[in-house]
Amino acid sequence: MSTETLDLEERTGAGPDFSLTSEQELLRDEVRRFAEERILPGTGERDKAHRFPEELMGEIAELGLLGMLVEERWGGTGFDPVSYVLAVEELARICPSTAVTMSVTNSVCCWPIQSFGSDEVRARVLPTLASGGAIGGFGLTEPGSGSDAASLRTAARRDGDEWVLDGEKAWITNAGYAGYYVVIARTDPDGGHRGLSAFVVPGDAPGLRVGTPEDKLGLRASRTAPLYFDGCRIPAANLLGEEGQGFKIVLATLDHSRLGIAAQAVGIHQRALELAVAYAKDRVQFGVPIAKHQAIQFKIAEMATQLAASRVLTRYAASVSEDGRPDAGRLASEAKAMASEGANKACWESLQIHGGNGFCEEYEIARLYRDVRVTTIYEGTSEMQRLVVARHLLR
């Protein structure tokens, strides 16, 4: 049996450089300070009340965090992808709900509009999103179509100068708050995955209705609800790319946006570790702080090791995401699966270190334990990430 050498490092020349630029460090420190001072005080209350962080969105926009991947000529701040994952990580460390609100606006709404929209659509929509005049949403999932996105049924038909949408979307983050959604609909009933197209749908489009918000296990301060399209009319110009390119746009968008979920997981993991260390030094059992027990030390060492690996892979995947490398999507999937599963494990261990107190909402780890769960599910489950990786290696 012969084997082939798998080229897992497709970049030629110098190896990866993981150091941050001074601008990236500055941004990270600024977002960290903002998250600790402005977001943290209300995080527990918003979670309890399932209340969207509406009052924070203006300040987040002022920091330039809603149009991070949007070029300056379209009103954005034009940050690089590593800066973007740094910002998501810092927000998620303090409030994963706020982080997903911000990351969805950036990565699954602004990014495909900038990448596939006409100049007219970019000029009409992106400055509003990037300046915080509106946040963004993304409508792919339907009640009968999750991982198998190509089977979606929401239909779009052309009627003169308009597209008319009919159908239903499920689990839409920022639903009801978003000023614009990128929505994937079927324009050819018999076209399979080639029969899908992508559209920009304004939040106030006639015929669009937002359903009852989901009562979620975690991320309770983020809004998730269904969208109903009943003869929903949008301008013909709101088509992204060409008719039939919807699936291609979805794949490209998710390849990019998974970096944001990986970064969200890294931020949660970081906080779970910090909480575990603080608690272990403080809690005394058998006459010593539990941090003196080797079993606790091993848990903390394992959490820190996994965190370092997840963070490095996430930043590396971000750093190559715009190089046009064929393995950029695979790296994003690897980062998302690894970081989200590592963060779930870390929250589990951190709660274990907190003992009975960790099972109580008074302690922050209880909320993180709930919040982290979804990171292995949305924007593609861990199983789907592994399919992406395996397909890349076995093609």
| Residues of the shown chain interacting with ligand FAD in the complex, contacts defined by CB under 6 A | 104, 138-141, 146-147, 171-173, 216, 219, 224, 374, 377-381, 383-384
Comparing CB distances to ligand FAD, the nearer of 354 and 370 is 370
Q: Is 210 helix (H, G, I), strand (E, B) or coil?
A: strand
Burial of 294 (0-12, 13-18, 19+ CB in 10 A): exposed
Q: Considering the complex, what minimum distance in angstroms separates the CB of residue 186 from ligand FAD?
A: 15
Cβ–Cβ under 8 Å, residues 142 and 168: yes
**Using CA of residue 346, residue 256, residue 192, residue 136, what is the dihedral sign?**
positive
Comparing CB distances to ligand FAD, the nearer of 299 and 330 is 330
Comparing CB distances to ligand FAD, the nearer of 20 and 377 is 377
**Using CA of residue 108, residue 216, residue 63, residue 324, what is the dihedral sign?**
negative
Q: Considering the complex, what minimum distance in angstroms separates the CB of residue 175 from ligand FAD?
A: 8
Q: Considering the complex, what minimum distance in angstroms separates the CB of residue 149 from ligand FAD?
A: 8
Give the separation between CA 68 and CA 114, rounded to whole angstroms: 12
Give catalytic status of residue 364 as yes or no.
no
Comparing CB distances to ligand FAD, the nearer of 104 and 317 is 104
Phi, psi angles (nearest 5°) of residue 131: -95, 0
Catalytic residue among 23, 361, 379, 383: 379
Longest dimension (CA), the chain: 79
Q: CA dist 139 to 23, 185, 224, 244, 246, Å?
A: 34, 9, 11, 17, 12
Q: Is 306 helix (H, G, I), strand (E, B) or coil?
A: helix
Q: Considering the complex, what minimum distance in angstroms separates the CB of residue 83 from ligand FAD?
A: 23
Q: Considering the complex, what minimum distance in angstroms separates the CB of residue 26 from ligand FAD?
A: 30
Comparing CB distances to ligand FAD, the nearer of 56 and 140 is 140
Residue nearest to ligand FAD (CB): 146
Angle between helices 294-319 and 328-354 (to 10 degrees): 160
Residues 6 or more apart from 383 whose CB is under 8 A from it? 147
Comparing CB distances to ligand FAD, the nearer of 48 and 391 is 391
Q: Considering the complex, what minimum distance in angstroms separates the CB of residue 367 from ligand FAD?
A: 15
Angle between helices 96-103 and 364-371 (to 10 degrees): 40
Catalytic residues: 379
